[in-house]
Amino acid sequence: MTTFRILFFYFIVYSFLGWIIEGLFNLSKNGKFTKPNFLKLPLKPMYGFASTLLVMLAPLIPMWLFVPLCFIIPSFIEYLSAYLLDKFLDLRYWNYEHKSYQFHGYVCLEFSCYWLLLSLLLIFFVQPYILTLYMLVAKAWGFVAAFIFLIVLWDFVTTLLKNTHRCKNMLS
């Protein structure tokens, strides 16, 4: 249970940091901090999943293998997220078709390179602080985690239900 708690902590923190990163990116490009988001909460689960997986793998594999995974894992999760949103809910939050070296418009070399740099920054500079933060809140996190899990689950389910008409239209 303790492992799940810390991994869920990482997932929530990195999903929130992903929301901030995307907000700042959009602010620099469009003059607005936010853009449409699948969840109503200020979370980008794609960042949470990729970051948590990389944090888990970092101590287990040699650096020569880990560095390419910092490119591959976030890119794969970005592709999978875009594909599932597009094919099952007819939602497209980003489109890289205008970029060089893109694949189905879901991923592109430019952003995969960004994921590589962000992932290395995360593992070597950010993660030690996140671990320290977890140690400070670990005792209270058990109760808080259950509450946050229910809120995230509620947000995900209600968003999915709100968009089921899209899925039904695609299947008929």
- Mean pLDDT, rounded, for 88-107: 92
**18-31 core/surface letters (b: 16 or more CB in 10 A; e: else):** bbeebbeeeeeeee
Question: What is the residue extent of each domain of the chain?
Answer: 2-171
Residues 152 and 15: their CA atoms lie apart, in Å, by: 11
Of the candidates 27, 20, 10, the one whose C-alpha atom is nearest the C-alpha of residue 42 is 20
Q: How confident is the model at residue 134 (pLDDT cuts 50, 70, 90)?
A: very high
Share of the chain above pLDDT 90, in %: 76
Average pLDDT of span 40-58 = 96
Residue recorded with tokens 């809140």: 137
pLDDT at 165 > cutoff 90: no
How high is the pLDDT of residue 168?
A: 52
Cβ atoms 75, 110 nearer than 8 A: no
Looking at per-residue confidence, does 169 or 84 come out higher? 84
Which of 147, 152, 68, 153 has its CA nearest to residue 115?
68
- What integer best gives the mean pLDDT of the chain? 92
Helix, strand, or coil (residue 63): helix
Tens digits of residue pLDDT in 52-75: 999 999 999 999 999 999 999 999
What's the pLDDT at 88?
Answer: 85
DSSP 96: -
pLDDT (0 to 100) of residue 8: 97
Rounded mean pLDDT of 68-90? 94
Q: Taking 70 as the threshold, does the pLDDT of residue 169 lie above it?
A: no
HSE toward the beta carbon, residue 16, CA cutoff 13 A: 8
pLDDT of residue 166: 62
The 8-class DSSP code of residue 42 comes to S
Would you place residue 170 in the very low, low, confident or very high pLDDT band (cuts 50, 70, 90)?
A: low
> What confidence score (pLDDT) does residue 48 get?
97
